Amino acid sequence: MNVKQTLGAVLFVVGIGLLFLAHYINVQVEEGNSQIFSAQQKVDKGNSLFSLSPYSKPIGQSMTSSAQKKINEGKDTVAYYTVVAERCQVGGIAAMIVGAGMMIFLRNKKRR
C-alpha cells in the first residue's frame, strides 16, 4: 500500500466516523424534540387555564414566560444541531467516496 492508498483508507474511516456522529446527533435531536414538544404542551395548557379570565391572563403569561423562553432556546439549539448533523452526514459520505476512490484507483501497478 502506498501513501495515497493509506490516505484513502484514513479518509474512508473518517467518513464512517462522521456518519456515526451524524446518527448520534440525530438521535439526540429527536429526544430533544420530544422533550420540547412535551414542555410546550404543558405551557400551552397552563396558558389556556389562565386565559379563561381577562384578569388572570397576564398572571398566566408571567408564570409561563420563563418556561417559554427556555423552550424557544431549546428549539434554536435543536435547529443548530440539525444543521451540524446534516453537514456531518454529507461530509462523511463525501469522505467515504473519495477515500474508496483513492484506495481503488491509486494502486501500484506491477511492472513486467
Q: Tell me what percent of the residues of the chain surpass a pLDDT of 90.
A: 62
pTM (two decimals): 0.80
- pLDDT the model gives residue 48: 82
Q: Distance between CA 69 and CA 60 in Å, rounded?
A: 14
pLDDT one-digit tens code per residue, 78-102: 999 999 999 999 999 999 999 999 9
DSSP track, 18-39: HHHHHHHHHHHHHHHHHHHHHH
pLDDT at 8 over 80: yes
Q: Which run of H or of E encompasses 56?
A: none
pLDDT one-digit tens code per residue, 11-68: 999 999 999 999 999 999 999 999 999 999 999 888 887 777 777 778 777 888 889 9
